[in-house]
Amino acid sequence: MGFFPLDEELELLLEMQKLQKKYPQDKPITGNFAYLKKREKQIQYPTF
């Protein structure tokens, strides 16, 4: 963990990652996680 607490956007990514690992065959979860993961830097816009 870094110096700053995780903001809500990063918490969402972590939750999606947990769901994707738990349900790897679920296409909506896998697809949505991949979409968000590719845009992780944009999600963190204040630091972008």
The per-residue pLDDT for 33 is 87
Residue 33, number of CB atoms within 10 A of its CB: 20
- pLDDT for res 46: 59
Q: What's the whole-model pTM score?
A: 0.63
Gap between the Cα atoms of 21 and 42, Å rounded: 23
Please name the residues in contact with 42: beta carbons below 8 A apart, sequence gap of 6 or more.
Answer: 48
Amino acid 12: pLDDT:
83
Domain boundaries of the chain, sorted by first residue: 8-47
Cα 19 to Cα 30: distance, rounded to the nearest angstrom:
8
Quote the pLDDT of residue 26: 93
3-44: per-residue pLDDT in tens? 445 577 788 888 889 999 999 999 999 898 888 888 877 766
